[in-house]
Amino acid sequence: MSTARFSQEVEKIEHNNVDMNYIDSVIHYCELNDIELESVPKLISKPLKEKIKFEAQKLNFMKRTSRAKLLLI
């Protein structure tokens, strides 16, 4: 699985499902394809990572000025 393909598939899921955000889309894609969430950080492209970070800050999962890592559990 390449970074580009993974990110494209997640973007496609997010775009086609109005009720899903990027975080939900990543989890959904991993569940559908039997991908362990621990391997996700290696598969996420930089632009997708920024979108997920923005979303996490908006949902108060992490502070806006934080350099903390978002852990998908």
What's 32-52 look like in SS3? HCCCCHHHHHHHCCHHHHHHH
What digits encode the pLDDT tens for the residues 15-46? 999 999 999 999 999 999 999 999 999 999 99
User: Is residue 73 pLDDT above 60, yes or no?
Assistant: no
Q: Given this model, what pLDDT does residue 59 score?
A: 86
Q: Given this model, what pLDDT does residue 66 score?
A: 54
Q: How far apart are CA 57 and CA 40, in angstroms?
A: 19
The larger pLDDT score, comparing residue 67 to residue 25, is at: 25
Domain range summary for the chain, segments of one domain joined by +? 3-58
* CA distance readout (Å), 19 to 10, 15, 42: 14, 10, 26
What digits encode the pLDDT tens for the residues 49-62? 999 999 988 888 87
Q: Given this model, what pLDDT does residue 60 score?
A: 85
